[in-house]
Structure formats: C-alpha cells, structure tokens
C-alpha cells in the first residue's frame, strides 16, 4: 500500500517535471516517404496556410511537410524548451514580440537569400526574423444583431455606441484575453502605447459591460456568427476578412482614428536540422508567387506592396500604426511591465477577485 | 703613368655594371617609402584606437541616456520597489538597428525585479553608488557593452539600493568604428600615394643637376679639359669643383707627359747624332790606331746613351710604382748602407771615398723600396760626379752620407765637396732636364724624379751649401707613418 503511494507520487513527480506543452494539431502534407521533410511550428490557422503549403509542394514535389498548429505562447515556450534538439525548420507566428524575443535571446539563426534581400528593411530584424504579411487589426460586427444601424468606424464612436446601447451590448463584446494569447497581449499593449487615454476608457467600458475574453480571433468570430456577441475588438484582419467574405451577416470595421498593422513573422530556429528546407519555404512565402497567392486567394495581406487594384487594399486615409519589428517589442514582454499591465487589465475587466 | 681604369671589354659589360650599381634615385624613393609607411602604420594604428573610442563614446551616450530614463522610472508599487520602463528607452536603443538588448534590475531588498536573470556580474572597476559604469563582456554568444548603475533608493519608506544593468551588443559600434576607419584609411592611402608620387618626382628634380653635369661632360670634345662653368645648386658645387680640379690635374699631367716625351726624344737625339758623327769619323780614319781610338769613343758614347735610356726607363718604372704601389715598412740604415756599398767601388776608381754614418739604430719609414733605391742612387751618383770635377788634385775627395733622426723625421744627408750649385740653380735643378753645368755628364732626369719620389713619401728635399765648398742635399721623411 505504502509503496504504491510512493510510486504514485513518483509518477506524479515525473509528470510534473516533464514539460507538457499542448502538442497542438498536426497536419501532414505531401508524400510521407519524400526525400526532404520540413516541420512547421505555427500559430497561423491551417485554413490560411494550407493552400500555400499545397502550392509549395507542387513546386517542390520531393518535399513533405508536417504542420503543427499551436498557440503563440505555446509555440514560444516550445522553441525554448527544444533549443538543443529542435524539430521545426521554420517557426511562424503572429506574436511579433515573442518571435523578436526569441531572436534577441539567441534562439534564431541568420538566413539570407535573394528573396529576403528584396524585403523592405522594416520587414526583418538582424536577418533572423522575417515578416511575410502585414495586416490591419480590425473590428467585426454582426449586421443583424448590432443595436445601432450605424457601425462605429473608430474607437470614439465605439465608446459612444457602448454608452448609448449599454443594455443591449452588455456581455456581447468580445476581445482577446491578454493572459492567454500572445497576440492579444501584443495588441492590447500597443493600444495602450498608441493612445493611453482612449485605451483606458475603452478598458473601463469593456469592464463595465462584461466583455467576453477569448484565446483566438476565430473563436470570437464564431461567437459573432452565432449571435452570442455582436462585436469583436482587435481581430486579425486576414482571419476576419476570410470570414466576412463567406458570411454576408458579418461586417469588418477598420478603425479610422488609427489602424494597428500587425506582421506575421517567421524565423528559422538555431540548431534546426531542417534549416535549409525552412529557408526554402520562407523564400516561397516571400516570393512573388507566394505573395500573389496570399492576395488572390484572400488568404493574407502580403508584406510586399500589392500591385494593382485589390479588394483587400486598405483605405489609405486611415493613419496606419505599423507595429515595428525591432527591439521596442521587447519592452512589452518585460516581466514587470507585463505583470503590471495584466493586473491593470484584470482589475479593469473585474476578472481578478483578489483585487476587487 | 696613371692608375689604370678597369677596362670594360664591351658595352654590354658596362650595361651589366650599370644594372648592378646601386641607384641614388631608387635609394631615395625606397627610404621615402619606408618612412611614409612607418608613418602610415602609426596613423592607422591611431585611427583604429580612435574610431573604437569614438564609437564607444557616442553609443555609450545612448546607453547612458536609456539607463537614466530607466532609473527615473523606478517606482514603489504597494511598498515594493519596481520599475516601469518607458517605451522611449527601447526606442532610444533601437537606434542601434540590429543590436540585441539585455537588461536586469535588482534591488538590495527584494532581489531580482525584472529583465534577464542570466545577466549578472560586477563591473571590473570598484563600484561607486550613483555612478554609471561601462564595460564589455560576452553574453549569449556575443560581445556586449554593459552600462551599470547602482544607487541608493530615495523614495520614502524605502531602504537599500537599486541596481540597473542595461546592455546592448556591439554591432552598431563596430559598424561605426569600421566606417570611420575605412574613411581614414582611404585618406591615409591617398596621402601615401601622393607622397610617393611627390618623392618620385622630387628625386628626379633633385638629381637633375647631376644629369646636367653629365650632359655637359658628355658633349665635350675629347681634348677639352677646361673647367665646367654651368650653374648648379650648392649641393653639387663641390662635385663640380672636384671635377674641375681633377681636370686641371689631368691637364697638367698631360702637359708634363708631352714635355717629357719631347725632352726624352731630344735627349736621345743628341747622343745619337754624336754617335753618328763618331761612327763616320771612325769610318774615315785610315790608320788602324786612329780607327781604334774612334771606335773607343763610340763605345763610350754608347755607354752614355745606354745610361740615359736606363734612367728614362727607371723614371718610368718609378713613376708607375709611385702611382700604384702601397707603401711598406723600410729600414733606412740598411738600405742606404747597401747602396753605398754598391757605389763605393765605382767611386773609388774615380778617387772618391764614400763614407756612411748613422746616428740612429732603427730608422723605419713607409715607402717604396725600388723608388727609394733609385732616388738614393741618383743623389749619391750625382754627388760623386760633381766631386770629380773639382780641379784640385791635392785634397782627398770624399762624399759623406749620414742617416739621422729627430722627433718627427728620418733624414738622409749627402754631403759633397764639389763645385757646388749657385743659388739660382738651386731652384731650377728640380725641373726636368735642367742641367746646371752642361759639361758634367748625366741625363738630368734625376733630380726631378727625386723630387717626385720625396713628394710621394710625404717628405721634403732641400739643397744646402757645404763649407767651404760643395753641396749638401738633405732629404727628410716622416717617421714611420703613411704618407
């Protein structure tokens, strides 16, 4: 009896010691017995990237790809944990700050090719992390259920709408949970940096109207579609646009006071055995073909300036606030700052019972 | 008569020698390049250090300002020391485009507050509260520059110190340093090339007067030995003067040679004419006794001619030796004694006694033995000859030879009691072919040669009067030193 308890404790200890990351969902592409293999760790929705991967495999028939989709934070922690025996040849994430921190802390390797050299300077840092898309951060509303016939086009109008239709809107706004998603935290911290007062008032309004928090853009839009909520704030433009195209009840709103512009960035981890294949896929993402495909198939907003007219092109009169891919992102992940920010956020949204 | 030039076999050999000869121009240019290279190396070294310092200075300012901004934002949150790093800190540091940033904040009360736990360590210099320090170290596989600050907390209700470390990698610094260095290197290289060009040009310019002298000499007619009159710079003045002196000497030597040849021919012609006359006379004599007498005279005349030729030959040999032979140690006593012994018998036949006397044991001079022999033989022979012509048969005739020495000189005195030499002649006797009294036999080449030999040995020769009558010749040589 005693020994079994001991064994149980031991087992528990082993379980605790072992890092237990969400392994995420795994998707396979290409012939399994192909000559070359590439593992992708990615936080990007498989639906967005799978057409690109398939096209890449058509171009490189001797390549098979394993795609592991996981959360941005999970991905970040996994790269650090696997630093000595890394599986992935390329790590793709929309959490720019976590990716940049990986580079700053020495977990990425340098990569340079003709394609990366053509990138604008803002789209890379140290030739170790590369942006392949630049998309607006948007709001999505449900046309049928939104209380006001006029949709808010900026944050001031959003605040007014919330106040005006306080009862209808209570509990029916959704946004990222800054504690869960890497992107959510990044967007919120950038909002607070861009317009601290507006952000404070917005947060206060969210708090008093019982905002719902989510891990991912898609889950928020799911709930907007189903009518649980009527409006989502700070959503990824590419995901939103795809959903809006398929559902006429949804409307995408691009804030006109300022539009945050987020990059999706990829890096090749240090010590990766598949670095060469990772570079090949990165080159494809940045290539003319890849970029064009993102545009024509409405998958992503390409990083390179779109040529010709396009449904996705943004209203240029809106001030764009591109989240810069440089050292400034590190500060958002400062331990003390992050802790304080999350505490304030929890306090404002009345989510932390200890502080009530 | 002159020391000979090395005789070049052909033009190619001369070209070969020219090729092997060191070049002034090349030497000048090489030493110039050497000096400028040393200067350039020193300059480059200085530039390297300077550019590193410059880069550190400017980026340290950046780092310091970022650190102080952090320091201003140390706050108390619910009684605990914390820090709210402003965004501006990182946008300041982002000016160093590609440099990674590391930082760490600690307080003495609460320990680690935020940043990179792995970043630690004390500055190399002893820390001083409130003072920012900079140092380099390796972190996360790269060289980093650390700004370090520890200060006492001034907030109310707080004790202890807070320590802030802020670091960035050195890429931007290295880039700035290398761009400064590159620029400076370009300038240095440019200066070096310009200087070398100037040196090359300058060497050409400096050496031009030499070429001009050369051209002037080249253009001359073979017999033209007049002085060079072109204007040249001070530095080549001495060269010009030396060349002119040399040419003047050459001119004199040539003149002497011409005179000598003419006189020699003349000297040989007179006895030959007389020989011819004697021979004709002998041919025309009818009686054997007369004929024999005439033939005796021919033999006598032939001896004289032979003597003259020997003297001329000796003179040529001595002249050559004087020009070419190195002087060696010679003991005068034994040399003079030997000559006296050689001549004594011949003198005695003429009823003249030679006496040798020396007041020194060893009389060493540096000289050429053959020339000295010739000189002494001539002088003693002359003395004997002059003594013979005194028509006083009563007195015993003698020639005294005396070797003596004082502090600086070895002297040889030859005293005869002959007819003597008038004061006018004393000056002229050393001229070639001058003969005071024509009836006395002798070639007359002797004294001029004696003068040459004495000069070559750095000595002096003087003619004095013997009391009551006669001539004393005194030769003084420097004591045992090279002429």
pTM value? 0.68
Phi, psi of A126 (to 5 degrees): 60, 15
Query: In this structure, how many other beta carbons lie within 10 angstroms of the beta carbon of residue B9?
Result: 8
Does the distance separating the beta carbons of A105 and B114 come in below 8 Å?
no
Domain A19-133+263-315 has CATH 3.40.190.10: yes
Residues, chain B: 483
Which of A 180-199 lie inside 8 A of B, CB atoms?
193
Write the pLDDT tens digit of every residue in A234-292. Answer: 999 999 999 999 999 999 999 999 999 999 999 999 989 999 999 999 999 999 999 99
Domain assignments of chain A as residue spans, ordered by start:
19-133+263-315, 135-261+331-348
Two tokens at A240? 């939103």
Write the pLDDT tens digit of every residue in A25-76. Answer: 899 999 888 899 999 999 999 999 999 999 999 999 999 999 999 999 999 9
Interface contact B100, partner A, CB < 8 A: yes
Same fold, A19-133+263-315 and A135-261+331-348: yes
Mutate which: B87, B88, B166, B172, vs A, most A CBs within 10 A: B87
Q: How far apart are the first and last CA of chain A?
A: 46
Residues contacting B20, CB < 8 A, separation 6+: none
The region that residue A161 occupies, defined by phi over 0 for left and psi between -120 and 50 for alpha, beta otherwise, is alpha
Q: Which residues pair with B143 in a beta bridge?
A: B138
- Helices marked H in A247-334: 275-286, 288-296, 328-332
Longest Cα separation, chain B: 167
CATH topology of domain A135-261+331-348: D-Maltodextrin-Binding Protein; domain 2 (3.40.190)
Mean pLDDT (chain B, rounded): 84
Interface contact A337, partner B, CB < 8 A: yes
CB-based contact B146:B136 (threshold 8 Å): yes
Phi, psi of B175 (to 5 degrees): -65, -45
Model ipTM? Answer: 0.85
Helix B288-324 to helix B234-284 angle, to the nearest 10 degrees?
170
Does the distance separating the beta carbons of A327 and B87 come in below 8 Å?
no
Helix (H) or strand (E) segment spanning residue A263: strand A259-269
Domain B222-324 has CATH 1.10.287: yes
Residues of A in contact with B119 (CB under 8 A): none
Residues of B in contact with A331 (CB under 8 A): 85, 87, 89-90
**Whether residue B468 has a cis bond before it, omega within 30° of 0:** yes
Residues of A in contact with B93 (CB under 8 A): 327
Q: Using CB atoms, which residue from A106, A193, A331 is nearest to B85?
A: A331
Residues contacting A26, CB < 8 A, separation 6+: A66, A67, A68, A69
Q: What is the mean pLDDT of residues B247-273?
A: 83
Longest Cα separation, chain A: 75
Interface contact A326, partner B, CB < 8 A: yes
Q: What is the mean pLDDT of residues A70-89?
A: 90
Calculated CA dihedral for residues A105, A111, A112, A115, nearest 10 degrees? -110
Q: What percent of chain B has pLDDT over 90?
A: 25
Residues of B in contact with A105 (CB under 8 A): 116, 140
Question: How far, rounded to the nearest angstrom, does the alpha carbon of residue B37 sit from its chain's CA centroid?
Answer: 27
Does the distance separating the beta carbons of B114 and A334 come in below 8 Å?
yes
CB-based contact A236:A299 (threshold 8 Å): no
Could you tell me which CATH number the domain at B327-478 has? Answer: 3.30.565.10
Phi, psi of B419 (to 5 degrees): -75, -20
pLDDT at B14 over 60: yes
Q: Is A235 exposed, middle or buried (0-12, 13-18, 19+ CB in 10 A)?
A: buried
Cα-based distances in Å from A91 to A278, B128, B133, B463: 9, 45, 38, 120
Domain assignments of chain B as residue spans, ordered by start:
1-206, 222-324, 327-478
pLDDT score recorded for residue A11: 46
Mutate which: B94, B103, B169, B175, vs A, most A CBs within 10 A: B94
CB-based contact B168:B99 (threshold 8 Å): yes
Q: What is the mean pLDDT of residues B151-173?
A: 87
Does the distance separating the beta carbons of A126 and B90 come in below 8 Å?
no
Does the distance separating the beta carbons of A336 and B85 come in below 8 Å?
yes
Query: In this structure, how many other beta carbons lie within 10 angstroms of the beta carbon of residue B291?
Result: 15
Mutate which: A107, A324, A327, A335, vs B, most B CBs within 10 A: A327
Helix (H) or strand (E) segment spanning residue B392: none
């Amino acid at each position: 009896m005693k020994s079994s308890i001991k064994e149980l404790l031991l087992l528990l200890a082993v379980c605790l010691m072992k890092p237990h990351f969400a392994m995420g969902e795994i998707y396979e592409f290409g012939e399994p017995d192909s000559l070359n293999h590439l593992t992708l760790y990615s936080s990007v929705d498989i639906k967005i990237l799978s057409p690109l991967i398939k096209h890449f495999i058509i171009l490189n028939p001797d390549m098979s790809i394993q795609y592991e989709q996981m959360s941005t934070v999970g991905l970040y922690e996994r790269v650090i944990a696997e630093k000595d025996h890394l599986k992935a040849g390329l790590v793709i994430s929309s959490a720019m700050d976590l990716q940049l921190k990986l580079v700053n802390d020495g977990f990425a390797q340098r990569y340079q090719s003709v394609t990366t050299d053509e990138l604008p300077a803002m789209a890379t840092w140290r030739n170790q992390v590369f942006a392949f898309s630049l998309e607006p951060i948007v709001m999505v509303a449900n046309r049928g259920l939104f209380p006001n016939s006029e949709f808010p086009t900026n944050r001031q109008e959003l605040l007014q709408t919330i106040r005006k239709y306080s009862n209808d809107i209570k509990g029916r706004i959704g946004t990222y949970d800054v504690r869960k998603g890497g992107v959510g935290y990044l967007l919120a911290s950038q909002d607070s940096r861009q317009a601290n007062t507006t952000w404070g008032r917005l947060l206060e309004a969210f708090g008093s109207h019982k905002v719902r928090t989510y891990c991912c853009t898609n889950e928020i839009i799911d709930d907007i579609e189903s009518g649980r909520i009527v409006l989502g704030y700070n959503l990824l433009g590419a995901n939103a646009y795809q959903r809006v195209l398929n559902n006429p009840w949804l409307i995408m709103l691009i804030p006109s006071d300022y539009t945050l512009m987020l990059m999706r960035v990829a890096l090749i981890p240090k010590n990766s055995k598949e670095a060469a294949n990772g570079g090949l896929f990165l080159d494809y993402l940045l290539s003319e073909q890849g970029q064009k495909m993102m545009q024509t198939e409405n998958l992503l907003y390409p990083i390179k300036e779109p040529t010709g007219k396009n449904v996705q092109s943004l209203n240029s009169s809106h001030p764009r606030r591109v989240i810069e891919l440089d050292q400034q992102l590190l500060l958002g992940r400062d331990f003390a700052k992050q802790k304080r920010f999350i505490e304030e956020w929890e306090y404002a949204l009345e989510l932390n019972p200890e502080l009530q | 008569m002159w020391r000979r030039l090395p005789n070049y076999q052909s033009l190619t050999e001369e070209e070969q020698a020219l090729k092997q000869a060191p070049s002034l121009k090349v030497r000048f240019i090489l030493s110039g390049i050497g000096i400028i290279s040393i200067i350039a190396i020193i300059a480059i070294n200085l530039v390297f250090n300077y550019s590193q310092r410059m880069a550190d200075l400017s980026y340290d300012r950046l780092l310091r300002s970022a650190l102080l901004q952090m320091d201003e934002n140390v706050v108390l949150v619910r009684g605990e020391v914390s820090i709210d790093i402003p965004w501006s800190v990182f946008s300041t540091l982002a000016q160093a485009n590609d440099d990674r940033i590391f930082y760490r904040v600690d307080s003495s009360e609460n320990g680690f507050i935020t940043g990179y736990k792995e970043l630690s360590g004390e500055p190399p210099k002893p820390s001083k509260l409130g003072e920012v320090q900079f140092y380099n170290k390796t972190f996360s596989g790269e060289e980093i520059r650390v700004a370090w600050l520890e200060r006492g907390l001034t907030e109310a209700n707080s004790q202890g110190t807070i320590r802030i470390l802020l670091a960035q990698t050195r890429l931007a610094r290295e880039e700035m340093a290398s761009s400064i260095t590159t620029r400076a290197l370009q300038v240095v290289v440019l200066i070096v090339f310009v200087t070398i060009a100037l040196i090359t040009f300058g060497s050409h310019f400096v050496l031009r007067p030499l070429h001009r002298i050369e051209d002037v000499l080249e253009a001359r007619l073979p017999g033209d030995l007049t002085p060079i009159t072109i204007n040249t710079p001070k530095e080549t003045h001495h060269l010009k003067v030396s060349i002119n002196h040399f040419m003047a000497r050459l001119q004199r030597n040539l003149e002497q040679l011409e005179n000598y040849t003419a006189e020699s021919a003349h000297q040989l012609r007179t006895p030959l004419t007389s020989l011819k006359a004697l021979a004709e006379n002998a041919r025309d004599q009818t009686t054997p006794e007369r004929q024999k007498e005439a033939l005796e005279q021919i033999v006598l005349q032939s001896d004289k001619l032979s003597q003259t030729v020997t003297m001329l030959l000796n003179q040529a040999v001595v002249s050559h030796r004087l020009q070419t032979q190195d002087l060696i140690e010679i003991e005068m006593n034994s040399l003079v004694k030997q000559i006296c012994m050689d001549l004594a018998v011949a003198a005695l036949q003429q009823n003249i006694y030679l006496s040798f006397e020396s007041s020194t044991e060893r009389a060493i001079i540096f000289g050429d033995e053959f020339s000295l022999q010739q000189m002494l033989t001539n002088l003693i022979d002359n003395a004997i000859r002059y003594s013979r012509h005194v028509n006083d048969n009563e007195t015993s005739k003698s020639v005294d030879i005396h070797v003596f020495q004082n502090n600086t000189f070895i002297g040889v005195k030859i005293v005869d009691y002959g007819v003597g030499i008038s004061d006018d002649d004393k000056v002229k006797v050393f001229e070639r072919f001058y003969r005071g009294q024509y009836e006395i036999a002798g070639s007359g080449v002797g004294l001029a040669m004696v003068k040459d030999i004495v000069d070559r040995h750095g000595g002096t020769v003087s003619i004095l009067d013997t009391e009551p009558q006669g001539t004393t010749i005194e030769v003084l040589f420097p004591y045992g030193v090279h002429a």
